[in-house]
Amino acid sequence: MADQLLLGSIADTPSPIPIVQESPQEGYTREMLAVEVAANPALAPYVECFPWHIPRYFRMREAQLKAFRFLSQGHDQVLLEGETGVGKSLIGIVWLSVLRKLHGYKRIFYVVPNLAQAKQIAKRFSDMVFVLEGRESHDCLYYPDQKPAWKANEIPCAILRSCGHRVDQATGKTLEEGAVPCPYYAHKYAAKQYEGIVVTTYAFYLIMRLFKSEKGVWEDHDAVVLDEVHNITPLVRNVLSYDITDWHLERAIEVVEKVDESVSVSLKKFLVVFKKIVSRNKPPFTKIVLEDDEIKKLIKALEAIDTSPLESKKNELEKMASQAEGGREALNEVQNLLFNLWRYIQSLRYAIPKEENDEIKHMALNYVFSYFVSEPIPEEEYGGRGPKVINRLTIQSHHVRPLIRKKVLLSRTLAMSATIGDRTVFGYISGIDFPQYLFLESGFPAENTRIYMPSDTPSLAYSVRSDREPAKSLESIVKECKLFNAEGIRVLVLVGSHQELDKFLFYSSPDKENLDVITYSRGRSSNSPRSDAMLGTMPKTPKEAVELFRGGKGMVLLGTEQNFSEGIDLPDGLAQVVITLRPGYPDPNSPESKFENRKFGKNGAFAIHQWLVKIRIKQARGRTERDGKIKSVTICYDQRFKGLVYYALPEKLRTSYISGKTFADCCLDARAFLKK
Ligand code: SF4
């Protein structure tokens, strides 16, 4: 049997190890691997640590065996690209278990983008992992009369220093003898005692690696699996980005002026500079990238804030924070300000290019943009905090490559994703350029899928599309959805914006095509009574919409590419068709695009955006397929997909790529294919 490993550095090296000859569709039993293990003892711990005891893993799949053969060669840092369905999470769990077995490692982590994914891992490997959750998952016990209890991230925990529930992270004892342990600190302590694999989110892992306040969980870390690693750059950027609003500043000032006048005076001065820079001579509702001079003024005003007098006022602050009514929320703002002040200054400094006479020269690594509204903003904005924010400043971290290399990667790291794509681009933006690379093909049969690129659809680029677009295109997609639905075929439709989503609903309404659509409202309203009537009946969040659809409700699941191209699975025929309207290129006028054009040049920025679009195409395709037993199709609508889709496909699926047919014919062909 030809070994199909695509190994970065040893691709053509013939294996000296006898390889099992059988390749059963369902994989290998332990007994079937005995011969290979005898010849290759390095593989033995992988076979031993394989979770044979979990019914769904009663056999080792071909792709998993290939991964273990590779990992057993002792590579410390590996980039693994495995198609949907190869069982990557199991590979990661087994790899960590082997390291623990061989080296006695106790501080081993499996990192995922969000808590829902962490819980999925825990569900599959319940006796092998511990899910480490952040403050937002735990009730705070400090305010016993508060019902429902506030979460540990909603209270000024650092100011409430004498809270008796606090659990000492070295001893596990509460500060006050006999007190009920704080759920958050008790959980952290339990994670520290756990000797297996700790599963957590990128955000928590990064906070733990970067910030002193959380470092106490572990002194150091031994090995890490980074799952869905194609997302690492935006995830790290988000953790290191900050929003400052006048509403929050004013709340903090209200408290501070009660305890120290000098600090409140400097905060008020900063507030004046802040408001002037954010809103003077700037249009409302528009994100404006700040000029270097404006950033320098902000830094100067922030540097003038000396919070040290508050050190001696901690008892007063704690007393105020202990009053549930009014104290808790305002003190939380003070706490954030105290902790983040130096981070604001640091991040702002990195938003200015280093100049000729600076010791270290570099271009700006972050960017700063402001945004203000001149009227109350919708309740749902800003995390449901209501119409309070008028001026907002965002310090957006961007160049995180060195930080990922220094703080996220460990000497033993397995970075995994279904969609790495161009490794040069990925390595450039993420800093993950391990020489050891492994590609795993799924057993997905090419004959069970089709990918269509219609010939007669328009380009929906702002610069070239007609005034009737994208409405006209959305109307024709609605009509085709109706034909799919008539044959009992459910469809996932991915659009690029909420305006497009509203337009799709308009054409789907009962007095138009009358489609059975499920989407999410987020409490929004559109400009159309027809769309509003439909939005009013929809669940609020994308997650709720997916759950309803998975439960059998609706024939079309509709969402933006941003919300739906990742993190949802609709395999086993839950949806057999994905129609994706247009590639998700960033808005050329957004602060991010402007910054990237300046930093990477137009060609460099374009290469990064192309990479991102290809990743999203692959992710969108992966939503409907798992093991390939049920047929599925993907239709890429916009002409800008041409030239991207084909090259985004794994080689064996390129035979499933169909172009040269009209959109209507593609859909007709898809219906015939799915019905066969
Ligand atoms: S330590 Fe005390 S104040 Fe902090 S989250 Fe726990 S119970 Fe609340």
- CB of 331 shorter than 6 A to ligand 1: no
- Select the highest-mean-pLDDT range: 204-213, 377-386, 662-671: 662-671
Q: Is the pLDDT of residue 384 over 70?
A: no
Ligand 1 center to 175 CA (angstroms)? 11
Atom of ligand 1 nearest to the CA of 135: 5
- CB of 503 shorter than 6 A to ligand 1: no
Helix (H) or strand (E) holding 611: helix 591-622
> What is 479-509 written as a DSSP string?
HHHHHHHHTT--EEEEESSHHHHHHHHHHHS
pLDDT at 242: 86
Ligand 1 center to 204 CA (angstroms)? 18
* Residue 625 binned pLDDT confidence (cut-offs 50, 70, 90): low
- CB of 140 shorter than 6 A to ligand 1: yes
- CB of 155 shorter than 6 A to ligand 1: yes
Task: Report how far residue 340's alpha carbon sits from residue 616's, in angstroms, rounded to the nearest whole number.
Answer: 34
Q: Is the pLDDT of residue 453 over 70?
A: yes
Q: Is the pLDDT of residue 15 over 50?
A: no
Q: Among 294-303, 459-468, 586-595, 639-648, whose mean pLDDT is lowest?
A: 586-595
- At 122-136, the pLDDT tens digits run 999 989 999 999 999
Atom of ligand 1 nearest to the CA of 163: 2
- CB of 152 shorter than 6 A to ligand 1: yes
Work out the average pLDDT over 620-638.
Answer: 79
pLDDT at 485: 96
Per the listing, tokens 């988000």 go with 238
Task: Report how far residue 518's alpha carbon sits from residue 553's, in angstroms, rounded to the nearest whole number.
Answer: 8
Helices of type H across 180-313: 183-193, 202-210, 212-215, 232-239, 246-259, 261-279, 292-303
Helix (H) or strand (E) holding 533: helix 529-535
**Complex ipTM over 0.95:** yes
For the beta carbon of residue 663, count every other beta carbon within 10 angstroms: 20
pLDDT at 433: 94
Helices of type H across 14-137: 34-39, 44-49, 62-71, 88-103, 115-124
Residue type, 480: E
Query: What are the structural domains of the chain?
Result: 6-128+196-238+404-440 (3.40.50.300), 242-399 (no CATH), 446-675 (3.40.50.300)
Ligand 1 center to 616 CA (angstroms)? 41
- CB of 166 shorter than 6 A to ligand 1: yes
Closest CA to 70 of 39, 101, 46: 46
